[in-house]
Amino acid sequence: MAESSSPYTQYLLQSEPNFFDPEKICPGEMVINMGPQHPSTHGVLRLEVITDGEIVTNVMPHIGYMHRCFEKHAETRAYNQTIPYVDRLDYLAAMDSEHVWAMGVEKMLGIEGQIPKRVEHIRVLVAELNRIGSHFLAIGTYALDIGAYTPFLWLLRDREHIMRLLEWISGARLLYNYIWIGGLYYDLPIGFEERCQEFVQYLLPKLDDLNTILLENKIFIDRTANVGILPLDVGINYGCSGPMLRSSGLKYDLRRIDGYSVYPELEFDIPIGTGIMGTTGDSWDRNYVRALECRESLKIISQCLDRLQGDYKRTPDFDPQAMCPKKIRPKEQELYFRGETARGELGFFFRSTGKSDIPFRCKRRSPCFSNLSVLSEIAKGCMISDLIAIVGSIDIVLGELDG
Amino acid sequence: MTFEEIRNFIIDKFGSEVVVREHNQAPQPYLVIETARIADVCQELFSNPQTYFDYLACLTGLDNGPEAGTLEVIYNLYSIPYDHQLTLKVVTERLTPAGALPNVPTVAPIWKTADWHEREAYDLVGINFTGHPDLRRILCVDDWNGHPLRRDYEWPDYYHGIKVRYDNHNEVNGFKGEGLASTINPGLPPLVNEN
């Protein structure tokens, strides 16, 4: 190649070389790079695709373009100082990640049963609000990927209400640092419960609209049904989790299985994919499960609101930081703690030495990382346009994937 | 199955020498398995209908530092139908006597999710998973030097002419130093306070 004489081209070739050798693929096949700056990759993901005409015969994802050394950062900071970094992992559902981090550290400290009930309910409330916002963005941008513009605008309009609510609580729209170890940054603002109640009433009919405008739309079904089918055994073997695994027909939700926080006291269903429009585990199912989950999250939110206005209502002397430990120094131990975020099983592996306020080792187990690894399995043999539909339906957030 | 039952199951199948050490205290008991046998043990735990660990939740590489001289791989297994979990561990030396990366048998043929997790452990911690189908770097660029999560890792000054260390960036610009500076700039006090 003529341009490879430039030193910068040489650097590029060295830094992320192609997996497939153009000399060794079959005649008639072609290597195409999709990304890293392709809009449908939802960030910076590079897919090296081998195509035979319009058919994708092999895919190799290249990740790491947004690697920001989360684990290294976490190993140089005290546990409470890492919470803003946890926000930046999954920036679309930061409350969920914060919740998992805080619970993990509380479990190491042995104070997981002593958190005030009001705090626990507020945590679940904000995590579920954030989950709806994340699913709305996932479905909205997915629709945009495959050519539907209106649902994106509708969903972002509704998500804006969630962003405003969370901004009212914490002062930030995306990266909150609201859930602290042992408590919360601040109690709910006065009038929040009532406003949130109104929002629940507002959103319920919008979910029906979402069904009408997008999920039951003929074009949407034609683009997504029977596309990117993930069989259940393959999903489990690849470590998929969250809506991705549930759409393949397994009721696997850590909020129920591990029963952390106040989830065992709350009533909600776990929607699974049943292949209404095609085959169980196809791209349509994945989006349908997300849409159904929004409804379940709304159920959880209204139950939390009822309790926050009833049994655990605001009192003048309530201090959300009352249980926050002044010194966060867990005993010498190892712990893998996991929780359900909007994308699946987010886990943190901690090793504490007992002599230090910072973890000796902190590993994040990202749900997107495992969910994306199945791509080359499920995308073989699809059309190039379907590849966009499959990548979008996995709902990756590159900040979390690359860590 | 409880932790004790799983331990006895492994000892029955493979003999007692396969379990090098065990730690059965809350919150997370674990078994240290002989490094060369880890893939066999995992295969048995995966395929035996009594245990059926079908989900590899997490695989962690961990460097204990040059003083300890050891390196660990931690496997968090979970069984979806039985709802039981198990932590296995492998302890190996940081470098082989020849100075190469330590070898640990791969579990990628058993759980496909281990493919990328092992690539990440190889990339960041520097563990050579023998038998891995495609052991390349995954998060760092391909021509990066060293393994960043090793305790004795030193940051390069430049990568292809791009400045890597902005060690005095905060001080030069009038910001108060942050915690990370304690590893990059040894002059700042570390966050650890021993007492």
Q: Where are the domains of chain A?
A: 3-62, 71-402
Least confident residue range of A262-266, B38-42, B154-158: B154-158
Which of B58, B125, B132, B153 to mutate: most A Cβ within 10 Å?
B58
Contact A347, B76 (CB under 8 A): yes
B99: its two tokens: 């100075």
B140 closest CB neighbour out of A17, A64, A73: A64
Q: Do B139 and A403 touch (CB under 8 A)?
A: yes
Alpha-carbon span A197 to A3, nearest angstrom: 60
Quick check: B180 pLDDT over 50?
A: no
Shared domain check, B173 and B161: yes
B184: its two tokens: 């990059």
pLDDT of residue A12: 75
Q: Which residues of A touch B24 (CB under 8 A)?
A: none
Quick check: B58 pLDDT over 70?
A: yes
For A:345-364, CB contacts with B below 8 A are 345, 347, 349, 351, 355-358, 361, 363
B96 band by pLDDT with thresholds 50, 70 and 90: confident
pLDDT of residue B183: 46
Shared domain check, B88 and B33: yes
Q: How far is A2 from chain B (nearest CA, A)?
A: 21
Cα torsion at A98, A100, A106, A111 (round to 10°)? 110
Contact B76, B56 (CB under 8 A): yes
Alpha-carbon span A286 to A229, nearest angstrom: 10
Residue in chain A closest to B144 (alpha carbons) equals A15
- Please state the rounded mean pLDDT for residues B126-143: 92
Q: How many structural domains comprise chain B?
A: 2
pLDDT of residue A1: 42
Strand partners, B84: B79
Shared domain check, B191 and B165: yes
Using the Cβ of B58 and the Cβ atoms of chain A, whether some distance falls under 8 Å is answered with: yes
Q: Which CATH number does A71-402 carry? A: 1.10.645.10
pLDDT of residue B194: 46
B187 band by pLDDT with thresholds 50, 70 and 90: very low
pLDDT of residue B36: 92
* CB neighbour list of residue B150: distance below 8 Å, 6 or more residues apart: B63, B94, B125, B126
Q: Which residues of B touch A402 (CB under 8 A)?
A: 139
Domain span at residue B68 reads: 3-153
Q: How far is A14 from chain B (nearest CA, A)?
A: 6
Q: Do A363 and B139 touch (CB under 8 A)?
A: no
Place of tokens 């029906």: A208
Share of chain B above pLDDT 90, in %: 54
Quick check: B160 pLDDT over 70?
A: yes
Shared domain check, B137 and B164: no
User: What does the pLDDT profile of chain A (403 residues) look like in tens digits?
Assistant: 444 567 777 777 788 888 888 888 888 899 998 878 777 777 789 999 999 999 999 999 999 988 988 998 898 888 988 999 999 999 999 999 999 999 999 999 999 889 999 999 999 999 999 999 999 999 999 999 888 999 999 999 999 999 999 999 999 999 999 999 999 999 999 999 999 999 999 999 999 999 999 999 999 999 999 999 999 999 999 999 999 999 999 999 999 999 999 999 999 999 999 989 889 999 999 999 999 999 999 999 999 999 999 999 899 888 998 888 888 899 999 999 999 999 999 999 999 988 888 899 999 999 999 999 999 999 998 999 999 999 999 989 988 998 8
B183 closest CB neighbour out of A76, A345, A365: A76
pLDDT of residue A5: 62
pLDDT tens-place string over residues A2-39? 445 677 777 777 888 888 888 888 888 999 988 787 77
Quick check: B176 pLDDT over 70?
A: no
Place of tokens 């926080």: A261
B166 band by pLDDT with thresholds 50, 70 and 90: low
A61: its two tokens: 């994802």
Quick check: B167 pLDDT over 80?
A: no
Residue in chain A closest to B46 (alpha carbons) equals A237
Q: How far is A250 from chain B (nearest CA, A)?
A: 10
Alpha-carbon span A273 to A290, nearest angstrom: 10
B142 closest CB neighbour out of A14, A336, A369: A14
Q: How far is B21 from chain A (nearest CA, A)?
A: 15
B65 band by pLDDT with thresholds 50, 70 and 90: confident
B172 band by pLDDT with thresholds 50, 70 and 90: low
B185 band by pLDDT with thresholds 50, 70 and 90: very low
B28 closest CB neighbour out of A64, A252, A336: A336
- Please state the rounded mean pLDDT for residues B181-191: 45
Shared domain check, B162 and B101: no
Q: How far is A350 from chain B (nearest CA, A)?
A: 10
Q: Which helix (H) or strand (E) holds B55?
A: strand B55-63
Shared domain check, B95 and B30: yes
Quick check: B190 pLDDT over 50?
A: no
Alpha-carbon span B34 to B15, nearest angstrom: 11
Q: How far is A119 from chain B (nearest CA, A)?
A: 24
In single-letter form, the type of residue at position A94 comes to A
Looking up residue B23, the CATH number of its domain turns out to be 3.30.460.80
B103: its two tokens: 């070898």
Using the Cβ of B109 and the Cβ atoms of chain A, whether some distance falls under 8 Å is answered with: no
Q: Which residues of B touch A333 (CB under 8 A)?
A: 25, 27-28
